[in-house]
Structures are given as structure tokens and as C-alpha cells.
Structure 1
Amino acid sequence: MGSQYDTLAAITNLTADMPLRKFFEEYTFFQALGDITGRSVLDVACGTGLYSRRFKQRGAARVVGIDNSEGMVDYARHLEASQPLGIEYHVLDAQNARGLGTFDIVAATYLLHYAPSREVLRDMCTSLHASLGPGGRLVSICMSPDIELRDTSYYRKYGFEAASPGEDGDVVTVKSLVPELPFTISAYYRKRTTYEIALREAGFRDIVWHPPAVAPEGIAALGVDYWSEYLRRPHAEVFSCTK
């Protein structure tokens, strides 16, 4: 178990410190999220609890994290035991998120693009909708409908490659180029309208796609030129919507 925790800790720390996550992803996500002081948050696909901890540190009253990976949840619980913040963690997938009560905010980071069909995508959105109280918000990071998929070299300087024919429902292969963090994952490309149809069928309204943005610290650290190409075709995008 110790070696597993060490591996998961290394992955968590490396990804948390990567420029795209620290300066783009977190910045854009929390700009869309706004003030969460005193709010209840369900963190779906929480992984090792990186965002769950961020929510508590930003003043959320109740945070519950769920993930279908027992190893990830075990490590999140390990971190909670060593540095208690009052976060609950459960081994559940997005389609079985009900039963934990309702929340002011549901956060779903890198979740919806793993739905292998439109029907599963709609079911995921329906489950997320059911976890919200009246007027609650879903804030999510997903693979951008504008991702560059035909030029596999496009994202190399950002530490990965992405390739796919790029039609709705096609498999997208993402390969890490970071030597300390080698992995290859597969997800599914979806058009903007496909996401929006699934969300509306689930009962969501007021869907907003938030413009990609980089934290001022990221501009200062790496320069405008480093980010300009990425911001033209970001691989991830943040949207929010309301119950």
C-alpha cells in the first residue's frame, strides 16, 4: 500500500504543478465557479481529491468527492486522514451519484468526454442534475470541441499529443510526453451541440462556455507567446449550467 500511495502522490503532485493545470485549468475553472463560501459541493470524478481540497480551502461548507477508482479514493482518504479538512469520499461512478443528498454545486472535471455514447452522456448529465438542489450549478471541465486533433504535434510543447479523426463520437488518444508521467488515455470527441443537447435533455438551462484564460502568474512565468497557440485551440474547456 505504501508504494501505491507514493505513486499516486507523485502523479498528483506532478499534474498539480504542470503549467496547463496550474495556470490555465484551475484559473479558468475557478473563475467560472465564483465564490463558493458556505456552499456544498459534490466533486464527481474527484480522483485523489485535488479539487476537493481546493474547494474546502476556498471556503466550501461541505465537500463530498466521488470516484469509481478505489485506489484513487483510498489515497484521497489517506490525505484527508493526514491533513483533515472535513471532506467525505465515496467509491461511486457518475451514474450512481444519487443518494448523497443534494448540493449547491456539482463539479465534474474531465468526466463527460468518457461517455462512450450519447445515451450514456445523457444519463451522466441526468445523474449530475439529480444531485443538485433547486437553482444549483454544474461546473465542468471537458475536452474542448475546438481541440486540434489532426496535427499531432500541436500540443507537444505543452507536454502531450492528441489524435483522432475528429468526428462526433470518435475515440481521441491522448499521450503524455512528460518523462516522469508516462500515460496514454482514450476519450471521446463531442461537438458543442452534442454536449448541450445532453445537458438540456437532463434538465439543465443557462449553458455558458467560459472563455479559456491564463492566470497573470502564468503569463509572467512563461510569456504571452507560450500561451497564444494553446489558447487558439485549447484541449479543454469549462462550461457551467443551472438546474
Structure 2
Amino acid sequence: MSGEIIVNANQYDAIEGIEFIYPSGAERILARPFAERYTLEKVVGSLNGQSLLDLACGHGEYTRFFRDLGASELVGVDISEKLLSVAKQIELTSDKSDEITPITYLLHNAAEMPKIGNFDVVAATHLLHYAENIDELNKMCLGMSNNIKSGGKLYVLGANPEYNPRGPVLDKYGYRMHIPPHVKDGQEIFLEVKLDEPILIQGYHWSAETREKLLREAGFTNIQWHHMQVSPEGLAKYGEAFWQEYLSNPHDVLMSADRI
């Protein structure tokens, strides 16, 4: 793991030019459009008329994606001022027709986030692995619960707790996971993102049991796990055989839950 830019949640803004590095080479991250976004779209469905809070929004890629699904009110939250500046610039230069729902971007640490609103939907994409300890993870779960109305939906896309470090390597899909065998809760893991300048994202392992327990304690029920699917476009472009290794050992998994 030499030569990469190594970051954790608090270090993005310390990296010179991170706002330009992070979106670069994105066309090589094949799992993102053809698996992550497709799986989200299949599970989330239409968001017409619903308000949505997007946590760990970064430069707003998924926030804009949720807008495309029909959300009528959108707020994106991230800890990185530089990545939010990219999101805001994209918003300023995007089509401003009457049909386009504006996005509000706010600077917050998701583990210390105040009540921002009472949203129909809360989404957290690549957030929970940043929790350095069980207390931070619990605060993230409580923050999500505090910002969603009763009966609202939660969607959490993040590190697959069942990822097998001895399984297929995912380089050709744009990622490489660095996880020790027999990993335990709170143990350090890394996600290598294959951009023009590779980024090594530092995170922490949290088991499915731990995530479910804290979400239930925070007021969520009907917790479900949704494994990655590949879009018809991805299958047509690369073939079913190309995706077999990814689908057998995906780096990410999607959770959904209902707020009591």
C-alpha cells in the first residue's frame, strides 16, 4: 500500500487539491455506476415528493442521484469543506430550470450532527466505516434517527461486513479492500480507490450484528440487507462473466430500515 494518498474522515481537507483528485479517474470505478447506484435505485425506488438528508455526501454525487429519483427537498452533509465546495460549485453551474430541485449543503461531522430537520428519508453512503469506536458509531446512528420522521426510511450503503479478504481482488472494478483475516469490531481497514491518484481510505470494521444492534437501539426496525446487483447496461457492456467475482465478494452492501 505504498504511493497512495491515505485519508481518514478528518483528513480530506488537509490534502492539497483533494477537491480535484477525488472526482478524477471516476470512469474506472466501474462498481459505482453499474452496481452501487443501480442497487440503490432498485431498492429505494421513486422518491417523488419526499424530503431527503444525505450524510457523507462528499462532492454531491449521490445527492444529485437522489434528486434524479424525484426527491423534492434535499440536504447534503459532509465533514469536508473542500468536497462540499465542489458540490456547491456543481450546483451553481447546473441547469436552473424550474423543475430542478435545489440542494442545500451543510458542513457537519455526522457523529456530532444537530437536528437539521424531520426528513422522510435519510441516506448515508460510505459513512459508518469512519466511526473510530463504538461510541462514534452509536452517535452516527442516533444522529440519523434524530433527523428522520416516524415511519421514514433509512438507507445505508457501506463496507460489506462479510467481505472475504481471501476472496477475489476487486481492482478491475475500481476498488481494493485491505482487511485482515478474522477482523474484529473496531479494527482498522482500508479501501483503496483506483483514481488517477489512488486514495487509501482509512476506516474501521463493524460487524452486521453491531450495526443492527445500534440501529435498533436508535429507534429503527425492519432492518434488511441488500446485496449488490449489476445493471443491464453493465451486463451488456462487460458481460456476466466479468461481474462474477464482484458479485461473489462485493466491497459494499446496502442496508435499509424503518424509523419507529
TM-score by length of 2: 0.85
Q: Give the partner amino acid of 1:164.
A: I
Tell me the residue number matched to 1:215.
Answer: 231
Runs of 4+ off more than 4 Å: none
Contact kept in structure 2, 1:148 and 1:154, CA below 8 Å: no
Q: Which has the higher contact order (CA 8 A, sep 6+)?
A: 2
**Residue 227 of structure 1: how far off its partner (Å):** 0.8
**Residue 13 of structure 1: how far off its partner (Å):** 5.8
Tell me the residue number matched to 2:169.
Answer: 154
- Shift in alpha-carbon separation, 1:7–1:163, aligned structure 2, 3 A: closer
Question: Secondary structure, in 3 states, of the residue corresponding to 1:96?
Answer: coil
Q: Does 1:89 align with 2:89?
A: no
Counterparts of 1:53 and 1:157 in 2: how far apart (Å)? 26
Contact kept in structure 2, 1:148 and 1:162, CA below 8 Å: no
Q: Give the partner amino acid of 1:54.
A: F
Counterparts of 1:122 and 1:113 in 2: how far apart (Å)? 12
Counterparts of 2:179 and 2:50 in 1: how far apart (Å)? 39
Tell me the residue number matched to 2:126.
Answer: 110
Number of equivalent positions? 238
Tell me the residue number matched to 1:122.
Answer: 138
Per-residue displacement from partner, 1:145-189 (whole Å, max 9, x unpaired)?
A: 1112246x62233233222222222111222344x1311111111
TM-score by length of 1: 0.90
Question: Secondary structure, in 3 states, of the residue corresponding to 1:113?
Answer: helix
Counterparts of 1:17 and 1:104 in 2: how far apart (Å)? 33
- Return 5+ residue gaps in structure 1 as ranges: none
Q: Does 1:176 align with 2:187?
A: no
Q: Does 1:164 align with 2:175?
A: no
Q: Does 1:226 align with 2:229?
A: no
Contact kept in structure 2, 1:32 and 1:139, CA below 8 Å: no
Deviates more, 1:84-93 or 1:126-135: 84-93
RMSD: 2.1
Counterparts of 2:110 and 2:55 in 1: how far apart (Å)? 6
**Residue 82 of structure 1: how far off its partner (Å):** 1.0
Q: Which has the higher helix share?
A: 1
1:189 equivalent among 205, 218, 221: 205
- Shift in alpha-carbon separation, 1:236–1:78, aligned structure 2, 3 A: same
Q: Give the partner amino acid of 1:50.
A: E
- Return 5+ residue gaps in structure 2 as ranges: 1-14
- Shift in alpha-carbon separation, 1:184–1:211, aligned structure 2, 3 A: closer
